[in-house]
Amino acid sequence: MEQVSVQAISPTLQAYKTEMTLELQNILSYWMQYTPDKVNGGYYGKIDHENMVYADAPKGSVLHARILWAFSSAYNLEPHAGYLQHAERAYQYLVEKFIDPINGGVYWTVDHQGQPLDTKKQVYANAFVIYALSEYHMASGNTDAKELATKLYHLLVQKSYDQQQTGYLEAFTCKWQPIADLRLSAKDANEKKTMNTHLHVLEAYANLYKIWPDAGLKQQITTLLYNFLDHIIDLETGHLILFFDEEWNRRSDIISYGHDIEAAWLLLEAAEIIDDKNLIRQLKLVAVKMADAVLEGLDEDFGLWYEYEPGNDHLIREKHWWVQAEAMMGFFNAWQITNDEHYLRLSVNNWGFVKQHILDKVRGEWVWGITANGSLMPGEDKAGIWKCPYHNSRACIEIIKRIV
């Protein structure tokens, strides 16, 4: 995305960049201080909001991949030696504990001692490891990381890519055979294809393309972008469709505001990475349409609600940390496309909501989320299988990079 001169627009931009720089340091300081498992290696599988460590909790491949990405990306922004050390720690643990040496691919979880636990091959997790390895290669120059990323890419194309209908099937057994339960989590529909996995396969492939501009990879990225334009985005409403059967028939009407605003900028970024002028033009229009559609879920305090179920007119009145991080970035992206300062104000105001309600000013990091009455969502992690330094650090990094 083209960088924008501070002098040309509101002076609040420089303050925004300064706050993002400090917040990125705060986020990563938390992960460096509290999360390394110095007994069993890698990072703890669970820490609660009181910063209590659950040392025997399972460890997730997505958690470790996102830690690897966050520290690598932060190092690529500013070469802080501590960031590279933590990236190397996450890399070594991923390679030693999560890579299946027999069947290839990435386990979903290992136990607290690093033994394989849930050995299914979730395409989503494999994508995040490709994403993280690519970023780590940029930070470290480690050629083994690049080689492993390309190997995992070829494996996904071989095992998961649907040659007839295009797109990627969701999950497999340890040996890459069909599996009955395809879901990422209990809240998901048990369907063959999902928006979420396709979004993060695209994100992973786009990052891999930066270090390995392979023609076949470029074609995969192009096809994925057209999957979104042809199937996954409802171009009438500007919302994403979350679940599909194998033939791209719609299997859900739930609206996920966080994914909508995340996809709005990630799709355009991928098109820009492969420098496809036609897709860039289309996806700029789509990004703004999706940002406008997300306004349906924006509360008066500028916090973004989680999900809406139109079938029974049910709004899930929760404001999750990651949804706010993506709102900050997605609205900022819409401002860059349009030069309409309305979107910039939405981004800055959402950050204001985060500062007031989501930052844990006592114990560090961001809380999982708050309920409609402003209370902390109970029983959620500060660090865990899904609570990682990814969405929030990425929002900081992207906004820092886009303001000069």
DSSP lists the bridge partners of residue 284 as: none
- pLDDT greater than 60 at residue 6: no
pLDDT digits (tens, 9 = 90+) for 335-355: 999 999 999 999 999 999 999
Whole-angstrom Cα distance, residue 89 to residue 20? 25
- Is the pLDDT at 8 greater than 60? The verdict is no
**pLDDT at 404 (0 to 100):** 87
pLDDT digits (tens, 9 = 90+) for 249-269: 999 999 999 999 999 999 999
CA atoms within 13 Å, Cβ hemisphere of 26: 17
* pLDDT at residue 1, rounded to an integer: 60
Interatomic CA distance for residues 216 and 233, integer angstroms: 24
What is the pLDDT at residue 315? 98
**For residue 248, what is the DSSP state?**
-
Mean pLDDT, the chain, whole residue set: 97
Q: Which residue has the higher pLDDT, 392 or 7?
A: 392
- pLDDT reported for residue 2: 55
Looking at residue 10, its pLDDT comes to: 73
In DSSP terms, 161 is beta-bridged to 168
Domains and CATH numbers, the chain: 6-402 (1.50.10.10)
pLDDT at 4: 54
Mean pLDDT of 376-388: 97
Span 34-65, pLDDT tens digits: 999 999 999 999 999 999 999 999 999 999 99
Q: pLDDT band for position 11 (50/70/90)?
A: confident
* SS3 assignment, position 34: helix
Q: What is the pLDDT of residues 170-185, one digit of tens each?
A: 999 999 999 999 999 9
User: How high is the pLDDT of residue 273?
Assistant: 98
| pLDDT score of 59 | 98
| Residue 5 clears pLDDT 70, i.e. is over it | no
* Amino acid letter, 117: L
pLDDT tens digits for 88-126? 999 999 999 999 999 999 999 999 999 999 999 999 999
Instruction: Report pLDDT digits (tens) over 282-311.
Output: 999 999 999 999 999 999 999 999 999 999
Residue pair 318/325 in contact by the 8 Å Cβ criterion: no
Nearest in space to 142 (alpha carbons), one of 150, 130, 134, 153: 134
* CA–CA distance, 135 with 76 (Å, rounded to integer): 8
Structure confidence at residue 7 as a pLDDT band (50, 70, 90) = low
* Region 129-153 average pLDDT: 98
